[in-house]
Structure 1
Amino acid sequence: MLFRSFFDDKLAQYTYLVGCQRTGEAIVIDPARNIDDVVKAAKKEGLTISAATETHIHADFVSGSRQLAEQYGVKLYLSDEGDDNWKYQYTEGLDVEFVEDGNIFSIGYVDFEVMHTPGHTPESISFLLTDRGGGASNPMGIFTGDFVFVGDVGRPDLLEKAAGAEGTADSGARDMFKSVQRFKELPDYLMVWPAHGAGSACGKSLGAVPSSTVGYEKQFNWAMKIEDEQAFVDELLKDQPEAPVYFAEMKKVNKVGPTVLKEDTRVPDFTAEDVKRAMENDKTLVIDTRPATIAEKTLIPGSINIPYNKSFTNWTGWLANYDEDLVIIGELYDKEDIIQSLHSIHFDRIIGFAQTEAVAEWETHDAYETLSVKEFVEEAKKDSTYVLDVRNDVEWGEGHLDEANHHFLGELRQIDVPKDQTLLVYCQGGARSAIASSVLKSLGYEDVKHMAGGYGAYKREMKN
């Protein structure tokens, strides 16, 4: 048997490739939308991808299952658990086998036993892997999807918070409790291969280690230690992070079927004049992907700055709208990666890419000002200022400046605060407040300043 994992650090998401070397067949588990690297890896090992499967209808990224089925003709094994609201709707004309708890399907001499593990979502399933080709008669490990992570379990509140399915958080948490009890009956030696690692919004305390064992999780995963159902529900629902707004779109897209990307799709290169013409349409959003230290001095009026790093996909999902055309400003060497990151959460309306050199002559001015902690604190005392804390609910609850008003970064494009005051913005470390400052400038707020080093620096410098 061949086993490979592929990690998208911007989504903290794992895709797995499992192959039977006896027959030359392979399956992809929880495929990302861009599956080129997985296909290349399979070919390098002399394998042909014949199947794909996924543990549930994902809410945080576009699944590549349909892309694999349409582009390569692979067979799909999809969950038939859950009620009618959680059934796949794009399968007509495709080779699909719907699976339920207890079903077994095989890729060559590698068997996958389906285990229904609801909680994160009603249709969630896990897969117990047995390598018969290697002489095994018992499972080696389990692909848990968003059910069990290293050190955590999947959050059950996303359907309610992001998709508006009222009342599902509590029922999902109770389903998760039952699924965890069943997980605890599995042999300790089984490997655990989750769909996400640290940085994913699908849980609140995911570990950064890529895999674990059932036995280890029984000992050290908080969710395995609580025996009382109500206590488990209360703890699971407590302090979950904000649910990104784009999750609702992802859930819908993966249910009805994401657009199949064409190989000849190209995003045209834009000149400065092209960008200006595009911005005449109020349904165009220009995203500047340069580092904040550069963008704060040369930000194009009306654009927002989301630096291209590990947080880019998340904050774009929060701040961009699916009915907007996107124009990207960035370095040419990042172009394909940026486009792929946007495609990964179904932002397909990318109408142009402008290299930084193309807009270098644009008339710009200092977008916002960066203040030291002491300067920020002095400014915050003035009646002419309005202080914004753009961190999440948990961070805010753990402490904040007395003068601050809580306005989470992901919701800033819907903000309404005084335009006749100086806006002072801070986060935990300075990165989110820089993004927030660019958003506020794009909304027409003229006098915007943010704190270098954020609340972390404030505590170090002012509390000592």
Structure 2
Amino acid sequence: MLFERIYDEDLAQASYFIGCQRTGQALVVDPRRDIEVYRDVAAKNGMEITAVTETHIHADYLSGTRELAAATGATAHVSGEGGEDWQYEFDAERLHDGDEIRIGNVVVRAVHTPGHTPEHLSFLVTDGAFADAPGYVLTGDFVFAGDLGRPDLLDEAAGGDDTRFLGAKQMFASLRDKFLTLPDHVQVFPGHGAGSACGKALGAIPSTTVGYERLYSWWGRYLAEGDEAGFVEELLEGQPDAPFYFGRMKRQNRRGPAVMGERAPLPQLDAQQVARQLAAGEVTFVDTRPADQVHTGTVAGALNIPGGTSIATYAAWAVDPERGARPLVLLAADPEAAREYWDHLVRVGIDEVAGYVTGLEGLPRTTPELVSPAALEAYDKALLLDVRAKSEHAEGHVPGSTQLHGGRVLWNLDELPEQGTIVTYCQGGLRSSVVASTLRHAGYDVAELEGSYSGWAAHREALAADAG
């Protein structure tokens, strides 16, 4: 059996390539939409992808199940569990508890594990060439290394009404009746790692075992004692803010993400043409440089979505395709950099990219306003906006600030003052720059706290030292 974990650092998301080396058949579980990585693995190993499946209707990224099936001719399989309200709306083979997908010698059995979502499946994997019992389980957003999937996302981001308590109870039952009935040696491969908003304390290691989680997880004690009430309380307590784009992901994944097909290379655009399009409101410019470079000067009305490992995350904070977003023009060094950046965008359903430019020359310029920590108190501001998570704000914040997670700002503009200047901050400045550029693009007057909270805290410590 060939078993490869394919990890996206941006969204802390894992997909899995499972192949039978005897027959050359392969299955992909939880693929993303930029599918070349799976086709490359198949080609490298002389395999054909014949089946594609996913553990559940994802919230944090757009599924590549339809995209990969369309490109390879593979059969798509999705959950048929969860009841009428949680059925997929596109054509695919339905999987129910106990159903199997056979890939040569490899048997992949679906196990219904509701809790994170009602339709959630885990997959038990048996390598028939060596064993007649499962040795691996792909748990999606059910069991993580050191944590569990959160059952509150349907309330937080998908329009649910108090579904978290039922979900938490279902999670308890799924652990008791499904996960903990497995032998201790079974290796656990989850759908996310540290940094994902799909749990509150995910481990950074790529896998764990049933036995290790049974002995050392925070929830093992509650299961051993049969304490459902205590389990529910601790599971729901302290869950992180859910970005609002999660709701769009849920809707699109249930409906069926659009199949893009082969994407042509992005064209390099003429600066004069882009300037005219910007003036006409036909495109949106994306400055992909780090915040400190953007603060020295950027394109007027640009979004600042820095390149690196969190492109999809921050792009989904700043761009909502369901609100008539314009095609994007990227700042990129070359065609390869532009394509790589675009790959991150399509993972969260931001498909419309007009092309790229390699510099800012010939484009309308502006310099974002910064407010020093020393000048903040006297600065005439309508709102001081802390765009960090609730937990960060609770640990320490600038007095008088209002907390609103950066991934929720674009969907809560009615909470912001229409007149006056909004001053934004985060911990170090990156998230603040993303949100500030988003608000400027939406027409708000925005300044950024120089150095953000870290800079402000250092300033306060210096004042205290001088006074002492």
Alpha-carbon deviation of 1:390?
1.5
Deviations 1:234-286 (A, max 9, x none): 22222212222221221122222111112144444332333333334557433
Farther off after superposition, 177-186 or 378-387: 378-387
Deviations 1:21-56 (A, max 9, x none): 111111111111122111111121121111111111
- Alpha-carbon distance in 2 for matches of 1:108, 1:420: 65
C-alpha distance in 2, partners of 1:379/1:407?
A: 23
**Aligned-partner Cα distance in 2 for 1:67–1:389:** 38
* Cα shift readout 1:295-336 (whole Å, capped 9, x = no counterpart): 112221111211112222112112211121232332224200
Q: Which residue of 2 aligns with 1:408?
A: 405
Matched, 1:177 2:172: yes
User: By how many angstroms is 1:128 displaced?
Assistant: 0.9
Q: Secondary structure at the match of 1:38?
A: helix
Structure 2: how far apart are the matches of 1:77 and 1:363?
A: 49
Tell me which residue corresponds to 2:244: 245
Give runs of aligned pairs for residues 4-403 of structure 1, distance below 5 A.
Answer: 4-91=4-91, 96-134=92-130, 136-182=131-177, 183-227=179-223, 228-280=227-279, 284-322=283-321, 323-331=324-332, 332=334, 333-350=336-353, 352-357=354-359, 359-369=360-370, 371=372, 376=373, 378-382=374-378, 384-385=380-381, 386-403=383-400
CA distance in 1, matches of 2:444, 2:259: 40
> Structure 2 CA distance, aligned partners of 1:170 and 1:282?
45
Find the residue that maps to 1:253 and give its secondary structure.
helix
Structure 2, unmatched stretches of 5+, are: none
- Cα distance change, pair 190–361 in 1 and its aligned pair in 2 (3 A): same
Q: 1:370 deviation in Å? A: 6.1
Q: Count how many residue pairs are aligned between Structure 1 and Structure 2.
A: 450
Q: Which amino acid aligns with 2:248?
A: E
Give the TM-score of the pair, scaled to structure 2: 0.90
Partner of 2:134, secondary structure, is: coil
Q: Is the 8 A contact 1:285 1:320 kept in 2?
A: no
8 Å Cα contact 1:151/1:222 also seen in 2: yes
Contact 1:434-1:450 at 8 Å conserved across structures: no
Write the distance in 2 (CA, Å) between the matches of 1:382 and 1:178: 55
Taking the aligned partners of 1:57 and 1:152, their CA distance within structure 2 comes to 20
| Further displaced range: 412-421 or 230-239 | 412-421
- Cα distance in 1 for partners of 2:120, 2:280 equals 41
3-state SS in 2 of match to 1:128:
strand
Q: Which amino acid aligns with 2:219?
A: A
- Alpha-carbon distance in structure 2 between the residues aligned to 1:273 and 1:439: 24
Distance 2:311 2:268 in 1: 21
* Counterpart position of 1:417: 417
In 2: Cα distance, 1:69 partner to 1:418 partner: 47
User: Following the alignment from structure 1 to structure 2, what is the Cα–Cα distance between the partners of residues 447 and 32?
Assistant: 35
Shift, 1:212, TM fit? 0.8
RMSD: 2.1
Q: Could you say if the C-alpha distance between residues 457 and 215 of structure 1 is closer, same or farther in structure 2, counting changes exceeding 3 Å?
A: farther
Does structure 2 conserve the Cα–Cα contact (< 8 Å) formed by 1:102 and 1:113?
A: yes
For 1:264 and 1:140, locate their aligned partners in 2 and report how far apart those are by CA, in whole Å.
38
Question: Does the 8 Å CA contact 2:265/2:339 hold for their aligned counterparts?
Answer: no
Q: Which amino acid in the other structure matches residue 165 of structure 1?
A: G
Amino acid at match of 1:325: R
- Report the AA paired with residue 57 of structure 2: I
- The Cα shift of 1:433 comes to 1.8
- Partner Cα separation in structure 2 for residue 63 and residue 459 of structure 1: 41
Query: Which segment drifts farther, 437-446 or 62-71?
Result: 437-446
For the 8 Å contact 1:425–1:451, the answer to whether it is kept is: no
Check whether the contact 1:289–1:328 (CA below 8 A) recurs between aligned residues: no
TM-score using structure 1 length: 0.91
Which amino acid is the alignment partner of residue 24 of structure 1? G
Quick one: which amino acid aligns to residue 163 of structure 2?
T
C-alpha distance after superposition, 1:373-428 (max 9, x if no partner): xxx0x32322624432221112112221223222332344425336445x443211
Deviations 1:102-133 (A, max 9, x none): 22331111111221100111110111111111
Amino acid at match of 1:199: G
Conserved 8 A contact 1:380-1:403: no
- Secondary structure of the corresponding residue to residue 67 of structure 1: helix
In the alignment, is the contact (CA less than 8 A) between 1:189 and 1:213 conserved in 2? yes
CA distance in 1, matches of 2:15, 2:425: 36
Partner-residue secondary structure (3-state), 2:26: strand
Distance 1:412 1:77, change over 3 A: closer
1:455 pairs with 2:456: no
- 5+ residue gaps in structure 1? none
**Contact 2:386/2:405, CA 8 A, preserved across alignment:** yes
Deviation sequence 1:64-106 (CA, Å, 0-9, x none): 2111222211112321111122212221xxxx43221122331
Larger displacement relative to structure 2 (236-245 or 185-194): 236-245
Residue type at the aligned position of 2:157: A
Residue aligned with 2:327, SS: strand
Query: 1:4-32 CA distances to partner (integer Å, 9 max, x unpaired)?
Result: 11111111111111111111111111111
Q: Matches of 1:380 and 1:195 in 2, distance apart?
A: 43
1:346 CA drift (Å) = 1.1
Q: Which moved more, 1:124-133 or 1:291-300?
A: 291-300
Task: Report if aligned partners of 2:245, 2:407 keep a CA contact under 8 Å in 1.
Answer: no
What percent identity do the matched residue pairs reach?
A: 38
